[in-house]
């Protein structure tokens, strides 16, 4: 197991380099000039040239990337062109917000998805159809619309939760929960369907195995058969799907953080891309890649916990 973890971590290094290179090149194609955005129309030619020189924008893209890599290898992600704030500091301030959102949504989607999957696997055809329809509605409704609808109902008509904003856990655990309820629900709805479907398919397959019949014959309760035995053995597929769902929530944070005005990485990425703030775009891109790597690693570890054969291998 340790060997797998170490190998995965070593393989992630070239992956991060590839991602940073592609991001850098793609960002260089985005029209616009950060120096112009910073200085506006009123700057003189001398001011413009001086700023471009200080930001190394007058150098070839590959040269700029090499300068960036030199800083990266020393743990320096550079400074935001616009705020002059350290990119590492910006990310550190915003990462907890985004993680709260995607971890919360993943937990909620997993609980609901697994419950619906198990329910539809152990009930009749009508129940399965109902669950299918509910799951598909979750995919069909645009996330943006869902978010606005939640605000209209639960923040304005019934003022149960704040419409916008985020409170850190350190400032107030109660308000932290409150500020995350609606955004987490908005993000969760689209992720339930796949988890429910994979859980159901996997459960149906497991429940048809001989050992389940033996357990029933031995007098083990249906509740125990479903939740203790069958679900555990269906866990590999479900675990993979949950991992993929978490990863799919990352781009979703962009619209959720925008609508609910959460100071997370998704929202910062949109602003940074529009402003051509290359260091910040790079930093956030690398952070998201690192999150994906960690999630995949955790799924692999979970495999080992769920299946002794994987541990033995």
Partner 1 sequence: MKKKSALLIATILAAALALTGCTAGAKSSAKADDTLVIALQSPPVSLDPAKAAVGLYVNYVDPAYASLLNRAVNGKIVAGLADKWGYNSDNTEFHATLRKGVKWADGTPITAADVVASIKYFATGSGPSSPTMAALDVSAQGDSTVVLKSKTPNPILADLLTPENLGGAIISPAGLKNPPALAEATYGAGPYVYNTKQSVSGDHYVFTPNKNYWNQSAIHYKSITIKVIANANSAVQALKSGQIDFMQGNADVAPTIKSNSDLAVLSKPSIWAGLFLLDRDGTIVPALADVRVRQALNYAVDRDAITKAVYGEYGQAVDQPQAPGFDGYSKAAEKVYTYNPAKAKKLLAEAGYAKGLTIPVNYGSFDADNTKLVQAVQEQLSVVGVTLELTAATNFGGWVGDIVSKKFAATVLSPGSGGAEFPFAQSAFMPGGIVNIFGAEDPELSAAFNALASASVADHDAAAQKVTDVAVDHALSLPIAAVNTTLMYNKKLQGLEFTKGNGVPTYVTAWTSK
Q: Which residues bind partner 1 (CB under 8 A)?
A: 30-44, 47, 82-85, 90, 93, 148, 151-152, 155-156, 159-165, 167, 172, 174-175, 177-181, 258-261, 263, 267-268, 271, 274-276
**Among residues 44 and 74, whose Cβ is nearest to partner 1?**
44
Which are the contacts of 270, defined by CB distance < 8 A and separation ≥ 6? 254, 258
- Do 275 and 40 contact (CB within 8 A), yes or no? no
**Among residues 162 and 191, whose Cβ is nearest to partner 1?**
162
**Among residues 60 and 165, whose Cβ is nearest to partner 1?**
165
**Among residues 64 and 240, whose Cβ is nearest to partner 1?**
64
**Among residues 46 and 74, whose Cβ is nearest to partner 1?**
46
In whole angstroms, the minimum distance from the beta carbon of 148 to partner 1 comes to 6
Angle at 211 between CA 235 and CA 1, to 5 degrees: 40
In whole angstroms, the minimum distance from the beta carbon of 303 to partner 1 comes to 25
In whole angstroms, the minimum distance from the beta carbon of 176 to partner 1 comes to 9
Q: Return the biggest CA–CA distance within the chain.
A: 87
In whole angstroms, the minimum distance from the beta carbon of 182 to partner 1 comes to 9
In whole angstroms, the minimum distance from the beta carbon of 3 to partner 1 comes to 36
Distances (CA, A) of 141 to 42, 54, 173, 257: 45, 47, 31, 18
């Amino acid at each position: 197991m340790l060997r797998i973890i170490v190998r995965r971590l070593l393989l992630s290094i070239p992956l991060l380099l590839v991602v940073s290179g592609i991001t850098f090149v793609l960002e260089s194609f985005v029209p616009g000039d950060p120096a112009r955005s910073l200085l506006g129309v009123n700057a003189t030619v001398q001011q413009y040239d001086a700023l471009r020189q200080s930001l190394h924008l007058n150098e070839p893209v590959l040269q700029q990337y090499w300068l960036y890599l030199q800083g990266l290898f020393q743990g320096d992600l550079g400074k935001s062109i616009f705020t002059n704030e350290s990119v590492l500091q910006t990310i550190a301030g915003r990462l907890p917000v985004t993680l709260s959102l995607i971890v919360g949504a993943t937990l909620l989607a997993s609980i609901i998805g697994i419950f619906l999957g198990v329910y539809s696997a152990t009930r009749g055809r009508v129940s399965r159809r109902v669950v299918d329809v509910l799951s598909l509605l979750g995919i069909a409704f645009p996330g943006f619309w869902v978010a606005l609808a939640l605000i209209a109902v639960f923040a304005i008509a019934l003022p149960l939760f704040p419409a916008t904003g985020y409170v850190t856990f350190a400032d107030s655990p109660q308000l932290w929960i409150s500020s995350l309820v609606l955004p987490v629900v908005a993000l969760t709805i689209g992720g339930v369907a796949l988890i429910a479907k994979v859980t159901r398919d996997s459960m149906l397959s497991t429940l048809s195995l001989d050992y389940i019949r033996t357990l029933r014959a031995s007098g083990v309760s249906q509740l125990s058969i479903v939740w203790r035995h069958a679900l555990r053995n269906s866990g590999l597929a479900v675990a993979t799907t949950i991992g993929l769902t978490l990863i799919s929530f990352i781009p979703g944070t962009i619209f959720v953080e925008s609508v609910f005005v959460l100071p997370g990485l998704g929202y910062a990425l949109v602003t940074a891309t529009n402003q051509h703030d290359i260091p910040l775009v790079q930093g956030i891109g690398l952070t998201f890649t690192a999150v994906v790597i960690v999630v995949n690693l955790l799924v692999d570890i979970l495999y080992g916990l769920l299946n002794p054969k994987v541990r033995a291998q």
